[in-house]
Structure 1
Amino acid sequence: MLGKTYDREVCSAARALELVGERWSLLIVRNALFAGARRFGDFRSLGIATNVLTTRLEGFVAAGIMERDGDEYLLTAQGRELAAVVVALTAWGDRYLAPDGPPILYTHATCGNAVEQHLVCASCGDVHDAREVVARPGPGMPAEIAARMTP
């Protein structure tokens, strides 16, 4: 995992990057989610060094993203929720970094249609532009920092 480089950040995105922000992490999760990877050898197809893979898998187990069942590494509910992150990151990559089109298509197993990830307002529905999203202090924000954020 990354070093504790985000200690001064009061941000859940920074905390999440501590667990899944390293270059191999989401690829390991992707293969566990969508390629049936469960055993150590399954993840070796990524071309990742054995020591790095060991460190990532052990870190995922310690963080509750995966659990160990004999020789298998299984995603927990917490780990399976990263599917939304993988799908969103893939869609961004398809849009801006795949000149020949998407190399992988994520589809719904039940109906076969494309799966998409997008921003949704809990009250009025889809958010069509990131400029419509405002960051405001939440209950976990220390009061002294929240006071600086509020206009």
Structure 2
Amino acid sequence: MRYEELADVPCSITRPLVIFGDRWTLLILKYSFAGVRRFNAFQSTMGISRSRLRDRLDRLIDHEILVKRPAADGAYEEYRLTEKGHAIYPILMAIRDWGDTYMAPDGPPVEYRHRGCEGEAHAHLTCDHCAAEVTARDIDPQAGPGITPRRELDD
């Protein structure tokens, strides 16, 4: 299957890979949440080629995750997270939690503290019905309204 064809797969885990399927896109998002907004700042911070950065930024704009607009002083353009972009934060926090657990032998390199109480933020899965915390062992995937029956090969 070609990379572009992933968008046609009726799976809400597979489809986003068209957008997030490489390290550069996730790093752009990480730095966007950290306040990086200018093209040159992304480029110098990440060490990414200008053409690759342009491609990834354009993809995030095309998918309405980032928006490009003039800066407050009008001297340059900046990239800002949209509402759809802000909805990605729990994904990054889940990756960070996994990295802290399995790839940080000396402890977390950064702690993400709640401004209101100084507690640490973590990603958690909960049931929308009973509010219980769930893991993969508690989940039973079932067909949803967005799946279409596969046609038989001889149809």
Distance 1:107 1:17 in 2: 29
SS in 2 for 1:55: helix
Return 5+ residue gaps in structure 2 as ranges. 71-76
The corresponding residue for 1:136 is 142
Distance 1:137 1:58 in 2: 33
Give 1:22 deviation, angstroms.
1.1
Q: In structure 2, which of residues 89, 104, 108 is the aligned counterpart of residue 102 of structure 1?
A: 108
Contact persistence 2:127–2:134 (CA under 8 A)? no
Q: In structure 1, which of residues 112, 116, 121 is the aligned counterpart of residue 118 of structure 2?
A: 112
Q: 1:8 to 1:32 in 2, by over 3 A?
A: closer
Contact persistence 1:87–1:106 (CA under 8 A)? no
Contact persistence 2:7–2:16 (CA under 8 A)? no
Distance 2:91 2:42 in 1: 19
Distance 1:108 1:60 in 2: 27
Q: Which moved more, 1:107-116 or 1:47-56?
A: 107-116
Q: Which amino acid is the alignment partner of residue 47 of structure 1? A: G
Measured against aligned partners, the alpha-carbon deviations of 1:101-132 in whole angstroms (never above 9, x if no partner) come to: 11111122222211111110012223343110
The corresponding residue for 1:50 is 50
Distance 1:68 1:118 in 2: 32
Higher helix share: 1
Q: In structure 2, which of residues 127, 130, 133 is the aligned counterpart of residue 124 of structure 1?
A: 130
The corresponding residue for 1:63 is 63
Segments of 4+ moved more than 6 angstroms? none
SS in 2 for 1:14: coil
The corresponding residue for 2:37 is 38
The corresponding residue for 2:19 is 19
Q: 1:81 to 1:111 in 2, by over 3 A?
A: same
The structure with more radius of gyration: 2
Structure 2 length normalisation: TM-score? Answer: 0.85
Aligned length in residues = 143
Contact persistence 1:32–1:38 (CA under 8 A)? yes
Structure 1 length normalisation: TM-score? Answer: 0.87
The corresponding residue for 1:148 is none
Q: Which moved more, 1:105-114 or 1:84-93?
A: 105-114
